[in-house]
Amino acid sequence: MKTIFSLILLFLAVTTSAAFAKTPDEVDVGSILREAQMQGLSGPSRRLSEFRGKPLVINVWASWCGPCRQEMGSLERLSRRYGGKQFNVIGISTDDYRDRATAFLQKSNITFSNFIDSKLFMENMLGADRIPLTLLIDAQGRVLGKFYGTKEWDSPEALEVIAKKFRIRL
């Protein structure tokens, strides 16, 4: 009887988690991101719309997140190789403490633009109920894909996904 009850609970947990997976005001794949003022972390503050006109890779991370720290090097290599040319790369920190996020960026020698989301607006709009989260956004601001978990963003497999989603040749 305990086994059956446990299986029923497991089934309910798995099937209902998808229904609650959306964050408040989350923009779905295929929809256009809303305007947002982003507070600069490693440079000046900017509006999200300033990145329109060129595809955009957005990575949502936190300094305390091991998987986020693990993939940051591959995002830096991706940015150094392609950033600003065929697409841009930006990061959005969900850290509560700006100094911790800044210290992580400095220690890791991260050069692409990063912003801090102290009011959770970007976190909710992007759907960052778990991190790391990387989004591929087209030149008009439309969400083309959301990728949760650690990835090697400069690997041949990731570059193939990026090229296909952005319809560019890398």
Q: Say which CATH number the domain at 161 has.
A: 3.40.30.10
Domain count, the chain: 1
Identify the H or E element spanning 77: helix 66-82
Task: Tell me what pLDDT residue 2 has.
Answer: 46
Residue type at position 88: N
Query: Quick one: average pLDDT of 31-44?
Result: 95
Q: What single DSSP character describes residue 51?
A: G
Residue 112 counted as domain residue: yes
The arithmetic mean of pLDDT across residues 122-127, rounded, is 96
Average pLDDT over residues 91-120: 96
- At residue 83 the predicted structure's pLDDT band, cuts being 50, 70 and 90, is confident
Task: Look at residue 98 and tell me if it is in a domain.
Answer: yes
Asked whether residue 35 is domain-assigned, the answer is yes
- Token pair for 112: 């692409």
The answer on pLDDT for 46 being more than 80 is: yes
Give 21's pLDDT tier (boundaries 50, 70, 90): low
Residue 73 C-alpha from the chain's centroid: 14
- The answer to the question of residue 8 being in a domain is no
Query: 95: domain range?
Result: 26-166
CB 134 within 8 A of CB 68: no
pLDDT at 23: 82
Tens digits of per-residue pLDDT, 133-148?
A: 999 999 999 999 999 9
Domain assignment of residue 75, yes or no: yes
pLDDT higher than 90, residue 12: no
Is the residue at 44 inside a domain?
Answer: yes
Supply the mean pLDDT for the chain: 89
Which residues is 87 bridged to in the sheet? 83
Which pLDDT belongs to residue 24?
A: 82
pLDDT band per the 50, 70, 90 thresholds, residue 32 = very high
Q: Is residue 10 part of a domain?
A: no
In this structure, is residue 13 part of a structural domain?
no
Greatest CA separation found in the chain? 61
* Nearest of 36, 33, 60, 32 to residue 47 by alpha carbon: 36
